Structure 1
């Protein structure tokens, strides 16, 4: 039996299914930061903050998710210069998520002048790390070799789906991530993930420029 949190997330996804057609055809330009509202803060922090609004458009959802990934990827590159990354540590032991053991979010954020709201930056990096951990858990369970556009160890399509339920996903315990991966693989969301992969990948490339 699935934990209540996983069941709730899957139910929330079901309610978002009507957004998939529009979401699937989001132009890559929708992932680019608008030139407003972020004079004094890293634009990714501003975009993720928008995910707290009650009503969110598809482009807001995808920018929030991609911004979290971007922050996490930069943090991971910074970590890699010193050895093991947070993503690798969590994949080895999901229980290590408690207490942020072996994480250096604060040190990283404090070393940068880009982040004005240091607390939000730490929190949002952690969101992105969680997405990356889930991506690897999911891709290890799905056969991706038949899909030339999907490299082993990656699956932006499934992350695109989870961007629809950004807040529900971030509240999920790390221990539940393998169960969520199995639930998605056993549902229609597996097909949605495959179809979304290319468009989300293009958006992420535009987002990084």
Structure 2
């Protein structure tokens, strides 16, 4: 887990000037059979970390995720690159942060990937209990973003949708990822199907093959959030 933080921190330093005003969602994905120990570690230490300025952290569980090996991801929501750097330094330099990292190292059996994305469009609640994570490789970046945001803002859209642009590392070949949210799997599937079945959804589907390639879809569940102060 320490290597995840170190690698992402070094990558960010290279491009920090271009992202000073952009939100950053960093993610660290891994395999564990003991998520309860991770939850306990955050529960025991996060209040003090939050008082020092650490960003919001969320733990997600992955199901039906195709070829991806990881079982869980920790996601941090940062208002900008300065907040990301501040939060990272606190996690690595404080007693509470080191306690979490030490505990994580005992239960993470494999570190799979890390990266960061920037949310570029969102409608509805961006944080839901259940979600469909869709990985996309854009063939026409501008065309894809324009087409999807048009659908997101249409009367045919149902539920919450957030579009992210990959900023660092992440899934090989992926340029964007989309999260369709809901309170349950049934609601997520209903939002997804009904949005695409709408007149605006049908227009999007006609254009989509020349704009993007679908790479993977994953079912994700929010296990717990630890909120920044």
| TM-score, length of structure 2 as denominator length | 0.28
Normalized per residue, the structure richer in helix is 1
| TM-score, length of structure 1 as denominator length | 0.30
Please say which structure displays the higher CA radius of gyration.
Answer: 2
Normalized per residue, the structure richer in strand is 2
